[in-house]
């Protein structure tokens, strides 16, 4: 597991919005947000989402480890990177905890 500051730097780099690669005329007039749950990865791979039709993806959930550090499945980071290379306009929003894994959130924050 990586420490929180390294994870935050990685997230900032990985989830960069790519706005500098678009002209304002191309940008959609509204946001189209999809929800991707990491526990569906075996049934519905991240590469299968309609990324060209979305502006944002809410990725759920990063987990909080016993050492109060943020953890995310590494393989899915690779898939997000590949998807953003094909669709640089796409923004990822990371949700932390969720209903079953939010217990240690207070200590981590």
Domain ranges of the chain: 4-15+37-108
3-class SS shares of the chain: helix, strand, coil, % to 5: 40, 20, 40
85 confidence band (pLDDT: 50, 70, 90): very high
Question: What local confidence, expressed as pLDDT, does residue 52 receive?
Answer: 94
- 13-64 tens-digit pLDDT: 445 544 444 445 566 579 999 999 888 888 998 999 999 999 999 998 888 8
Find out whether 92 and 56 touch, Cβ atoms under 8 Å.
Answer: yes
Confidence of residue 67 (pLDDT cuts 50, 70, 90): confident
What's the pLDDT score for residue 22? 46
Q: Are 36 and 57 in contact (CB under 8 A)?
A: yes
Identify the residue with better confidence: 43 or 66.
Answer: 43
pLDDT on residue 3: 40
Q: What is the pLDDT of residue 68?
A: 79
């Amino acid at each position: 597991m990586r420490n929180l500051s390294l994870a935050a730097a990685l997230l900032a780099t990985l989830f960069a919005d790519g706005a500098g690669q678009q002209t304002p005329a191309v940008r959609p007039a509204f946001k189209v947000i999809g929800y991707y749950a990491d526990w569906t990865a075996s049934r519905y791979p991240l590469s299968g989402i309609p990324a060209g039709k979305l502006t944002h993806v809410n990725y759920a959930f990063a987990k909080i480890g016993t050492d109060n550090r943020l953890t995310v499945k590494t393989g899915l980071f690779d898939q997000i990177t590949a998807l953003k290379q094909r669709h640089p306009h796409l923004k990822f929003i990371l949700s932390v905890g969720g209903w079953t894994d939010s217990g240690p959130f207070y200590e981590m924050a």
